[in-house]
């Protein structure tokens, strides 16, 4: 009989503890509700409102019927994929070099990787515009050194957009890859060498597979962030490179059509969630980000 009061008391203590934890997390939940859930819900609501204020699917119907929207979405995903691939090609070797350095030297070099975070994206984008324009430093020095005779078209096109996007996104790939590489036990490479593997073979069979979770996490972060780019395509693309965010801005600033802009935002959000879902199914995303997969 004495066990029942103890059990009831334990349940009360557990409930009190849960309520206390809920109270501690309540400000964060309210912040998430106000800054994320409510704006997204408002976005969904506007996407179903016609110009006369009635509920309608006219904005989604326009997305399906007009081929220009399909081209914009295709261009957005293609540009994001290309920028991600370039970041992987440039970022993985750099992260590998940093991972091989002593920790003190690697931390000093990491300052150079993190330095772009200390400058506004808008400032960095306009800096690239100054460097890459026809009379910019790149073309001027290239002509003086005899590398080419005429100024290259490096801005107001896809080339300039990709250069700006890669410069901004490269640290987002290097950081998780570097962390993944630093976490690899070097005894695995020593074991591979003792079994007769050359350094190159040990890299491909041991080091690379162990670093793939960090590489995938960085590539996924870069790709998702690239989908929402606005400033870089607007400045370095010169109006010739139009991504979804640019079209959303045009619908609001030029046509004052919040419904059409909201529908574009909803579709982009849904497509992004589909990408995350597919990635989680194919590669066990929980393990990539430190969770426990089944």
> Tens digits of per-residue pLDDT, 244-263?
999 998 888 887 888 888 99
Give the whole-number percent of the chain exceeding pLDDT 90.
Answer: 32
Query: Comparing 12-26, 165-179, 229-243, 266-280, which segment has the lowest mean pLDDT?
Result: 12-26
Assigned token pair, 269: 């959000």
**In the predicted structure, residue 19 carries a pLDDT above the cut 50:** yes
Q: Please indicate whether residue 241 or residue 13 has the higher confidence score (pLDDT).
A: 241
Pairwise CA distance, residues 86 & 286, whole Å: 25
- CB atoms under 10 Å from CB of 150, counted, come to 9
Tokens 């979770």 appear where? 213
Over the stretch 260-281, which tens digit does the pLDDT of each residue have? 889 999 999 999 999 988 888 7
Q: Which residues pair with 49 in a beta bridge?
A: 55
The SS3 of residue 279 is helix
Asked whether the beta carbons of 212 and 95 are under 8 A apart, the reply is no
Q: Which residues of 267-290 are buried (b: 16+ CB within 10 A; e: fewer)?
A: bbeeeeeebeeebbeebebeebee
CA nearest to 128, candidates 120, 117, 136, 116: 136
pTM comes to 0.84
pLDDT at 221 over 90: yes
Query: Is the separation of the CB atoms in 266 and 275 below 8 Å?
Result: no
DSSP state at residue 64: H
What pLDDT was estimated at residue 254? 82
d(CA 155, CA 22): 52
pLDDT tens, residue by residue, 87-116: 999 999 999 999 998 988 888 888 888 887
- Banded pLDDT at 287 (limits 50, 70, 90): low
Per the model's pLDDT, the better-predicted residue between 4 and 7 turns out to be: 7
Cβ atoms within 10 Å, residue 88: 18
**Does residue 289 sit in helix, strand or coil?**
coil
Per mean pLDDT, which of 16-25, 30-39, 269-278 is the most reliable? 269-278
What does the mean pLDDT of the chain come to? 86
Q: What is the pLDDT of residues 141-189, one digit of tens each?
A: 988 888 888 888 888 899 999 999 999 999 999 999 999 999 988 888 8
Res 154: pLDDT: 87
Distance separating alpha carbons of residues 121 and 126, to the nearest angstrom: 9
36-63: average pLDDT: 84
């Amino acid at each position: 009989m004495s066990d029942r009061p103890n059990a009831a008391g334990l349940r009360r203590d557990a409930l009190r503890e849960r309520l206390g934890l809920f109270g501690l997390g309540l400000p964060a939940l309210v912040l998430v509700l106000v800054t994320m859930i409510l704006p997204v819900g408002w976005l969904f609501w506007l996407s179903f409102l016609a110009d006369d204020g009635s509920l309608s699917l006219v904005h989604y119907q326009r997305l399906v019927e007009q081929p220009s929207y399909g081209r914009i979405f295709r261009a957005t995903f293609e540009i994001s994929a290309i920028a991600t691939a370039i970041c992987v090609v440039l970022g993985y070797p750099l992260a590998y070099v940093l991972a091989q350095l002593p920790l003190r030297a690697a931390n000093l070099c990491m300052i150079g990787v993190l330095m772009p975070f200390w400058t506004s994206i808008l400032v960095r984008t306009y800096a690239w515009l100054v460097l890459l324009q026809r009379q910019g430093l790149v073309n001027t020095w290239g002509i003086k050194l005899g590398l080419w005779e005429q100024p290259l078209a490096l801005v107001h096109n896809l080339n300039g957009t990709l250069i700006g996007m890669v410069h901004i996104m490269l640290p987002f790939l290097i950081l998780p890859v570097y962390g993944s590489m630093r976490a690899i036990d070097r005894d695995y490479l020593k074991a591979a060498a003792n079994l007769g593997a050359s350094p190159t073979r040990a890299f491909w069979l041991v080091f690379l597979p162990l670093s793939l979770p960090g590489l995938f996490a960085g590539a996924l972060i870069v790709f998702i962030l690239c989908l929402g780019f606005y400033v870089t395509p607007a400045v370095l693309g010169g109006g010739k490179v139009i991504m979804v965010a640019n079209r959303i801005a045009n619908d609001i600033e030029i046509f004052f059509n919040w419904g059409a802009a909201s529908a574009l935002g909803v579709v982009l959000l849904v497509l992004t969630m589909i990408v995350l879902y597919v990635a989680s199914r194919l590669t066990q995303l929980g393990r990539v980000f430190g969770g426990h997969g089944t």
